Amino acid sequence: MAKGKGSGSNFRSAITGKFVTHKQGRSSPRTTVREAKNGGSTGGTYRSAISGRFVTTAYGKSHPRTTIKDN
């Protein structure tokens, strides 16, 4: 799937790590994370696709299908 164009946000799959369409992101809120376009780096932390909050490295590694590693 492709990165969106324009301003706003992108959705990334926690399962594949790839960008997905807006429709796919909205239909799978527990396994996708909304990211701001041109967002800054978060230093390699993990974020939950379910809550949107940052989580510990241990939690992120033990839940790979519902967390993403931000860079």
Cβ neighbours for 54, distance < 8 A, ≥ 6 positions apart: 42, 45, 46, 47, 48
How far apart are the C-alpha atoms of 66 and 4, rounded to whole Å? Answer: 22
**45 and 22 Cβ atoms separated by less than 8 Å:** no
pLDDT in tens, 44-59: 899 898 998 999 999 9
CB count in 10 Å sphere of residue 55:
18
pLDDT in tens, 11-68: 989 999 899 999 999 999 899 988 877 766 677 899 898 998 999 999 999 999 999 8
Q: Write down the pTM of the prediction.
A: 0.64
